[in-house]
Amino acid sequence: MKRNTGKQMTTTRAEAIKRYPKLGQLVTGEMKYGDGRSTLDVIDPTTGTTLGPVSMATEADADEALAAASAGFDVWRKMAVFERSKLLSRVADRIRESAEALAELLVLELGKPWNEALGEIEVAAGMWEWAAEEGRRAYGRVIPSRESNARQLVLVEPVGPVAAFVTWNGPLVTPSRKMSGALAAGCSILLRASEEVPACAFALGQIVYECGLPAGVLSVLSGDPVMLSSKWLESPVTRAVTFTGSTQVGKLLAQQAVAHMKRPIMELGGHAPVLVFDGVDVQTVVTRAVAAKFANSGQVCFAPTRFYIQRSTYADVVEAMTAEAKKVVVGCGFDPATRMGPLKSERRVRAVEDLVNDARRCGLRVTAGGRRLDRPGFFYEPTIVADATIEAKLSNIEPFGPIAALTPFDTYEEAITLANRLPYGLGAYVHARDFKTLHRATVDLEAGNVICNGWRATYPETPFGGHKESGMFSEGGIEGLRAFQNVKYVSLS
């Protein structure tokens, strides 16, 4: 099948804005508008102006979605697995067919460069494709019985209706990961879309229904997260909650879920270390590191953020990363020359400014960037901070922005201690020529995803989840399907 990652842009920002959709609430397969619902403005991060309003779900909407999920689950779980698989495959195809329209939404709402937006669309389509196939392989097993006239079986079944909450930095990928995994397992799902980037989640929901999903199996709402989480997690209808976002919010949701005996599937914050050992090709590592670091303007939970570099290589890496960061073209995502877009909000700009100002107060070297761009919108320069110490804020707080902190180390043990000293454990990266060093690091690093001599932390077919305060359970891969399944032991005699 043809992929869309090379699709040429045929629109302008002005034309895309005119096509920005009217947003409501997607319940029982239909968009609901008006009826006195309050609204919030969706902000274009490129200009700081309003794209349009998004309505906020009412308590009645939340209740209707719960009732729909209950009825939809009864229908969906009984549908033949192969029929569910065909539907999910159609969704993957439809996403690829809609690549240009979806890319417009990604660029408008998040500010992504066009080609980066197409990359996210292909990853999302791949998730649906993988889930369609893996959902056909929900295998149980037969346990040899101790009695000659008995049969012992292990069955896997859908856990039940799932409440899902997503953040704003992966407007298409994160909803796709949750929707496709839950639906492949046979669950219905209620998804709370981020009000900061709602159009992609609603467009995705509409695509799923266009592909034949029975009414009620999926609802997409935007609204007060406290109200929706209380409604959905306290209800006996839901059986699991999946959340992607900050550790602080994830802990609150996990506590609420456990209080009502719901399964908490949490993908939380990170502050990914990068260990660079002697002997690597510095320019190759740095070129790819800069691309990974500043993808999505650094607003990625598994983005490389804390670079620990062996001392004999350190000066070369600092110089090369500084030079590469200065080459990154920052601008509007509809401009073909742009390689990094804006941050999502004024709040994110201020958070980045606070980290850089603290670094300067600590006497650290800002070798590239370090300032907000003087233009409309929420643009900040790609920033390199050298000689970062453990006292600096950016060494301890996830930057979630275009900042890379560089620190030298002398020994392997020192590098591992620095990498593991924080409570986060989502992603970690290792670059070395020596296989023994790579092997040791995969064992010693406390992270759910350890990437050696590369930068791609997740694929549709691989599990994605964090250790320590970065999460519980995994999504993606066969593990992602299992997160939405119950195990049942059956004895027949």
What are the tens digits of pLDDT across the range 307-328?
999 999 999 999 999 999 999 9
CA dist., res. 135 & res. 131, Å (int): 6
Predicted TM-score (pTM) of the model is 0.95
Q: Active-site residue among 120, 195, 196, 267?
A: 267
pLDDT category, 2, cuts 50, 70, 90?
very low
What are the tens digits of pLDDT across the range 374-390?
999 999 999 999 999 99
What are the tens digits of pLDDT across the range 247-271?
999 999 999 999 999 999 999 999 9
- pLDDT value of residue 489: 97
Sign of CA dihedral 389, 392, 397, 400: negative
Query: Which residue pairs from 55-58 have beta carbons closer than 8 angstroms and sit at least 24 positions apart in sequence?
Result: 55/23, 55/24, 55/25, 55/222, 56/195, 56/222, 56/223, 56/224, 57/25, 57/221, 57/222, 57/223, 57/224, 57/227, 57/228, 58/223
**Are residues 370 and 271 in contact, defined by beta-carbon separation less than 8 angstroms?**
no
Domains delineated in the chain? 13-268+470-492 (3.40.605.10), 272-459 (3.40.309.10)
User: Between 225-234 and 59-76, two packed helices, what is the crossing angle to 10 degrees?
Assistant: 40
267 a catalytic residue: yes
What are the tens digits of pLDDT across the range 41-93?
999 999 999 999 999 999 999 999 999 999 999 999 999 999 999 999 999 99
pLDDT category, 6, cuts 50, 70, 90?
low
Q: In degrees to the nearest 10, what's the CA dihedral of 421, 422, 423, 428?
A: -90
Q: Active-site residue among 64, 301, 332, 446?
A: 301
**Are residues 381 and 330 in contact, defined by beta-carbon separation less than 8 angstroms?**
yes
Residues of 391-419 as b/e, b for ≥16 C-beta within 10 angstroms? ebbbbebbbbbbbbbbbbbeebeebbebb
Residue 290 pLDDT greater than 90, yes or no: yes
- pLDDT value of residue 437: 97
Mean per-residue pLDDT, 134-151: 93
- Strand partners for 430: 275, 452
What are the tens digits of pLDDT across the range 417-440?
999 999 999 999 999 999 999 999
- Average pLDDT over the chain reads 96
203: left (phi over 0), alpha (psi -120 to 50) or beta: alpha
